[in-house]
Amino acid sequence: MSETLSHWINGQAVAGQSGRMGDVFNPAIGEKIAEVPFAGTDEVAKAVAAASAAAPEWAATPPIRRARMIFKFKELIEARIDEFARIVTREHGKVLSDAAGSITRGVEVLEFACGIPHLLKGEFSESVGTGVDSYSMRQPLGVVAGITPFNFPAMVPMWMFPISLACGNTFILKPSEKDPSAAIFMAEVMKDAGCPDGVFNVIHGDKVAVDAILEHPDIAAVSFVGSTPIAEYIYTTGCAHGKRVQALGGAKNHAIVLPDADLDMTSDALVSAAYGSAGERCMAVSVAVTVGDAAGDALIESLRPRIEQIKVGPGTDGESEMGPLVSQVHLDKVRGYIDHGVGEGAELVMDGRGLTLQGYENGYYIGPCLFDRATPEMKIYKDEIFGPVLSVVRAPDYDAAVKMVNDHEFGNGVAIFTRDGDAARDFAARAEIGMVGVNVPIPVPVAYHSFGGWKRSLFGDHNMHGMEGVRFNTKLKTITARWPTGIRSGVDLSFPLMG
């Protein structure tokens, strides 16, 4: 019998009232395990009211006390990381080690957020004019909302709300309806950590809830991670309603492989980056661009045995390296892309479409797939597949490879594999991509740097976490002050000068 989940509003679980529900599945077995309520506009309004009521006192709480609450949350999450990983795996499907690793990357942002007293320090200039000082401060926005994707139900929310709360905002999280339980787990742990009621809220739902968030006048800012079409919608709609918006979209991450690259290191890195989490990562490498046919032939031969050894199975199996996809709909979509690639003439070197697992016949499994001789005109090259599919494209030379990367509509992440420092330095400068790796296949910045792409991979002016996260979650105020000193200059209607 499946369970019925709840929203989390004003420090407590709240049953859904809209009458609309969504099904939550365990992708390893393809069975329904829960029902999640889909919020209507009234329920979103209740969450906003709770967050708005809590905002003034939370904003006035000294940053050091906010940091202590975040630190307590961090301690509690670390103590229960195995339990948390099982919750993620049960609804998403990724293997437990991958789930735990993603939580750890979220914890790194918690650690960064604990330094908020230092991060909020402003600037001070003495005597910008006679008896005049100038200084700045960063203050919270008010109520901030986060809309997060299914692929990282723990990590991506933790990239958002810890910094927002540390900056003095209250927060409303709208997680993916495919794997919503991680959000409720975090809400319960936040309460155990001493988070005041109304400061952190969770609303489940679909487009109705999203639109209510985007249109509500009391929500000051919205952070989003998901596909590019939705990111663009979130950005344009949120901005039209006067909100600050950061919307991270899709990706088609390339890895350029030069002839001098360490072939074993490169192959290990590409297999890990392409097939980890079944390719359901916005930073997954899905295109390897080899410079020259010889490099392409060598790479294919090096990749093949590594891919053949990947063990696919349920995420709870300690021997599994790659779990199922998140849903039957997504499985059908990924299979459709593979069919399309074959139809367009790419060479399917490794075909995972026929994978079946005894005892898990209803699970959403597909084996690793590898294409060779894909071209930029093909759909499997243009689109974000978001599955365990790696395409090898062959470029005649280095400049052609760089042009290929820069011509793509997405600009999230990219990597180059080479022993040549000059080539690596040149590529890092020329790549029109937000995050660049040199012999690093998934160049996700550490928490005290910032995450975000270019072009149609990011809508908005701020990246996520790091100092960009602090800037997104605060507004700058500058004060110019003079105290009476007995000096009087009289009335002067000319433009004020401070010298």
CATH classification at residue 237 = 3.40.605.10
Residues 95 and 82 placed together within one structural domain of the fold: yes
Residues 6+ apart with CB under 8 A from 69: 165, 193, 194, 195
Q: What confidence score (pLDDT) does residue 437 get?
A: 96
Q: Is the pLDDT of residue 105 over 80?
A: yes
CB 5 within 8 A of CB 38: no
CB 415 within 8 A of CB 285: yes
CA 143 – CA 170 distance, rounded (Å): 5
Q: Is the pLDDT of residue 487 over 90?
A: no
Q: What confidence score (pLDDT) does residue 342 get?
A: 97
Residue 452 lies in a domain: no
Residues 6+ apart with CB under 8 A from 273: 253, 255, 283, 284, 285, 415, 441, 442
Residues 88 and 40 placed together within one structural domain of the fold: yes
Residues 44 and 186 placed together within one structural domain of the fold: yes
* DSSP H or E stretch at residue 102: helix 96-113
Q: What confidence score (pLDDT) does residue 490 get?
A: 73
Q: Report pLDDT digits (tens) over 135-184.
A: 999 999 999 999 999 999 999 999 999 999 999 999 999 999 999 999 99
Q: Report pLDDT digits (tens) over 243-287.
A: 999 999 999 999 999 999 999 999 999 999 999 999 999 999 999
Mean pLDDT of 33-39: 98
CA angle 318, 321, 323 (to 5 degrees): 95
CA 177 – CA 22 distance, rounded (Å): 7
Residue with tokens 């339980």: 181
CB 395 within 8 A of CB 296: no
Q: Report pLDDT digits (tens) over 323-363.
A: 999 999 999 999 999 999 999 999 999 999 999 999 999 99
CA 406 – CA 293 distance, rounded (Å): 21
DSSP 341-367: HHHHT-EEEE--TT---TT-TTS----
Residues 236 and 264 placed together within one structural domain of the fold: no
Q: What confidence score (pLDDT) does residue 191 get?
A: 98
Residues 26 and 160 placed together within one structural domain of the fold: yes
Q: What confidence score (pLDDT) does residue 451 get?
A: 87
Q: Report pLDDT digits (tens) over 451-469.
A: 899 999 999 999 999 999 9
The one catalytic residue in 114, 167, 282, 369 is 282
Q: What confidence score (pLDDT) does residue 499 get?
A: 60
Residues 261 and 237 placed together within one structural domain of the fold: no
CB 222 within 8 A of CB 446: no
Q: What confidence score (pLDDT) does residue 494 get?
A: 75
Q: Report pLDDT digits (tens) over 109-127.
A: 999 999 999 999 999 999 9
Q: What confidence score (pLDDT) does residue 493 get?
A: 77
Q: Is the pLDDT of residue 316 over 80?
A: yes
CATH classification at residue 432 = 3.40.309.10
pTM: 0.94
Question: Cα torsion at 22, 25, 27, 29 (round to 10°)?
Answer: -150
With H, G, I as helix, E, B as strand and everything else as coil, classify residue 54. Answer: helix
Q: What confidence score (pLDDT) does residue 484 get?
A: 77
CA 89 – CA 177 distance, rounded (Å): 15
Q: What confidence score (pLDDT) does residue 38 get?
A: 98
Residue 203 lies in a domain: yes
And the tokens for 43?
């329920």
CB 373 within 8 A of CB 339: no
Mean pLDDT of 356-377: 96
Q: What confidence score (pLDDT) does residue 1 get?
A: 64
Residues 231 and 262 placed together within one structural domain of the fold: no
CA nearest neighbour of 123 among 137, 111, 108: 137
CA 99 – CA 81 distance, rounded (Å): 9
Residues 68 and 197 placed together within one structural domain of the fold: yes
Percentage of the chain modeled with pLDDT above 90: 93
CA 426 – CA 462 distance, rounded (Å): 26
CA nearest neighbour of 30 among 417, 330, 311: 330
And the tokens for 16?
């859904």
DSSP 196-233: PTTSEEE---SHHHHHHHHH-TTEEEEEEES-HHHHHH
Q: What confidence score (pLDDT) does residue 454 get?
A: 92
Residue 499 lies in a domain: no
CA 353 – CA 350 distance, rounded (Å): 9
How many distinct structural domains can be found in the chain?
2
Mean pLDDT of 24-51: 98
The count of C-alpha atoms lying within 13 angstroms of the C-alpha of 49, restricted to the half-sphere facing its C-beta, is 6
Residues 382 and 298 placed together within one structural domain of the fold: yes
Q: What confidence score (pLDDT) does residue 370 get?
A: 98
Mean pLDDT of 222-237: 97
Q: Provide the domain limits for residue 330.
A: 253-438
Q: Is the pLDDT of residue 301 over 70?
A: yes
CB 143 within 8 A of CB 169: yes
Per the prediction, the chain carries an average pLDDT of 95
Using CB atoms within 10 A of its CB, is residue 39 exposed (0-12), middle (13-18) or buried (19+)? Answer: buried
Residue 491 lies in a domain: no
Residues 166 and 258 placed together within one structural domain of the fold: no
282 belongs to the catalytic site: yes
CB 298 within 8 A of CB 263: yes
Q: What confidence score (pLDDT) does residue 48 get?
A: 98
Residues 330 and 406 placed together within one structural domain of the fold: yes
Mean pLDDT of 184-212: 98
Residues 37 and 175 placed together within one structural domain of the fold: yes
* DSSP H or E stretch at residue 403: helix 398-407
Q: Please report, for the chain, how many H helices and E strands are present, in that order.
A: 16, 23
Q: Report pLDDT digits (tens) over 65-80.
A: 999 999 999 999 999 9
Domain termination site, one of 386, 405, 438:
438
